[in-house]
Structure 1
């Protein structure tokens, strides 16, 4: 008989099959045992009828503890009552290993307990669904950029300088030199764009930022495209098309997962390009009208400010042209103003904050050299990057999308720590 995955059951209706599974939960009456089975690809109910199986099989079904691993033999049947639409009429059970005192039961548990047991919490229905959404965002990201003619490039994780000139870096020794864990692959991606035209990276980044908000992680993953011969407005179009694409892909391919997460999909169905745009100046004016007297022109926005702005829209919103003083050294100045730069942050709806930061990049050698000096950066450390602006420099733009914030928004997770398999937080390096 054929061994299959749960996700493949719709192709085997009426057939007797074998699956490897874990027992997620169970309930039973005197004559029937209902086994909630999972195998990583999905969840299905296995029905064990006492009168239709050997006595020892029924006894095993009733006695198995949660998370016992097994092989199950049964007939695939349709079940219109379940969201999956199918169930397994169990004929045989072969126990592989009985779980011992599995700590995460169907009852409520505290967050710290669940985080301590993250290696097991991942097995739960909700966490399983979030990871499937994450996977679909990654899959559709590759699909989008490959279809658009981008080349995947892998920047280094160990670097000798900070892309954004910040001190919030993890320091290490690289033999007899100082090195840092990368906070962005952007500068290297700019070099790659000068060779390959349109490139993107996908990899881990690290921020030694002592923040405990629901939007922050110490280690997270970034998608960072860079595009040669591309100006700011053209980059914004790519950004909104990309975000629209991944949202619609999740809606199409993760219906069961979104249902399990009780996600209001009507809010996601509306996420289609183009997205609204407001300037930083307009955002400041709007916030003052809403009573945010703490924010002044020249200040960066905090979570309450971004949330207030986002609540006025049912799509992500671009905030463009931030003050030059609060943005990194590499951003191209606005052609008509010397106090703002050609940049944009994309703010997600529903209070999830900034998911993309991007800009047109400086490509004039003298201006880049001046900006490096103004930011007090070591010119020797940035010599290779500065070299790009005098070796056939061209207008170019790029952006970075934070994967975990995007996963949290699309899946409706309450905290970004649920959007990565093993989160690294300010006070958590275990498990």
Structure 2
């Protein structure tokens, strides 16, 4: 009977066959230990010479790293294994013999591993990160479906830019100018006016020439938009959503978190509600911590966000940023028009901003004024402005960057490990 490694626990005491690759092996004169992977997980296969005979044992000893095989044997419980099971191998068949596999168990430099990303994905560490990424995606759909949101897919090719064109990839759309999307938000606002509560999940592109561990050129965003939701309503959805995905990873990815050495006690604290501080309060805190260089109207950088986050064991909202720092579509605070009803959600442990969101302007005259102030082309935003012309309502939304969130929850240092094939400033291969 064929099965997979992840299903091995359902076949204790039974003889099964698994298609696998050899990740590693060690052997003595009488016994060999095969580290096997099949994409669903990792298991150790134990092959004893006296039980299988000389031919099969020598075949096992001569196996090369990443050779593909069928292994047949009996599944046993093994409390020493993080997985909890191992296989007593009775027979094996070589499907394809791998030769000179470049990524050996020794240490390799980052650039070498990135050049071989198509193979590096096979390692147990990268496998764990990808499984956590998958769980976050699965939990995202579960959360928004159970909350009554409708999935909508905004276009990737756009004729205008939500936040200006300076950091967008330009292309030609036949005879017109077009851009790779930096956000689906404007289109999601239109969808919210039709469907109430919507969310999108797709790739976004930023032509930002940054080399930090937090930045990618191509990354994935979850972008909900909600009609009749005001500022505080928006923050509540964000903290409920983030709490949900963290708890889902804790529940369903314990083996992967253990493999990565993640301190899960820090994640166990991530439950709504989250602390909130204003931009003004953040500046006061930073000045008390010795950040004398930052003044009102300056954006917060990574060191500032990290210093603030270190004071909390949960993500923290920083709200009410200066209007001058934020895009044209954000609703001003009725009590202070110098700031807007927005919030950045800063992850703990130095991982920075994972969500940006705001209440959106719903007054047509104010939106048209903002478009003019930001020197944007009114005609390009005519359709967007019309959302305020025909039954405008207060509405809010946010965007969560998937890769930064994966990095934080899994505890890996750099976002390049959190997407299968990262696009970085100087990397388009493989």
TM-score greater than 0.5 by the shorter chain:
yes
Query: SS of 1:137's equivalent?
Result: helix
Please give the root-mean-square deviation of Cα atoms over the aligned residues, in Å.
0.5
1:342 aligned partner: 341
Instruction: Write the deviation string for residues 58-90 of structure 1: whole angstroms up to 9, x where unpaired.
Output: 001100110000100000011111011100000
Instruction: Write the deviation string for residues 171-194 of structure 1: whole angstroms up to 9, x where unpaired.
Output: 100001010000000000000000
1:304-319 matches, cutoff 5 A: 304-319=303-318
Instruction: Write the deviation string for residues 189-242 of structure 1: whole angstroms up to 9, x where unpaired.
Output: 000000000000000000000000000000000000000000000010000000
1:35-46 matches, cutoff 5 A: 35-46=34-45
Q: Output the CA distance in 1 between the equivalents of 2:277 and 2:101.
A: 51
1:244 aligned partner: 243
User: Which sections of structure 1, spanning at least 5 residues, go unmatched?
Assistant: none
Instruction: Write the deviation string for residues 249-284 of structure 1: whole angstroms up to 9, x where unpaired.
Output: 000000000000000000000000000000000000
Question: TM-score, normalising length from structure 1?
Answer: 0.99
Instruction: Write the deviation string for residues 88-128 of structure 1: whole angstroms up to 9, x where unpaired.
Output: 00011010001110011111000000000000000001000
Q: Output the CA distance in 2 between the equivalents of 1:101 and 1:379.
A: 59
Q: Output the CA distance in 2 between the equivalents of 1:383 and 1:93.
A: 66
- In the TM superposition, what is the alpha-carbon distance from 1:54 to its structure 2 partner? 2.8
- In the TM superposition, what is the alpha-carbon distance from 1:167 to its structure 2 partner? 1.0
Q: Output the CA distance in 2 between the equivalents of 1:19 and 1:138.
A: 28
Worse overlay, 253-262 or 55-64: 55-64
Q: Output the CA distance in 2 between the equivalents of 1:328 and 1:165.
A: 8
Query: SS of 2:388's equivalent?
Result: helix
Moved over 2 A (4+): none
Q: Output the CA distance in 1 between the equivalents of 2:217 and 2:197.
A: 29
1:373 aligned partner: 372
2:329 aligned partner: 330
1:301 aligned partner: 300
Query: SS of 2:212's equivalent?
Result: coil
1:61 aligned partner: 60
Number of aligned positions between the proteins: 430
1:97 aligned partner: 96
Q: Output the CA distance in 2 between the equivalents of 1:54 and 1:146.
A: 55
1:125-140 matches, cutoff 5 A: 125-140=124-139
Worse overlay, 318-327 or 161-170: 161-170
1:288 aligned partner: 287
Q: Output the CA distance in 2 between the equivalents of 1:166 and 1:342.
A: 23
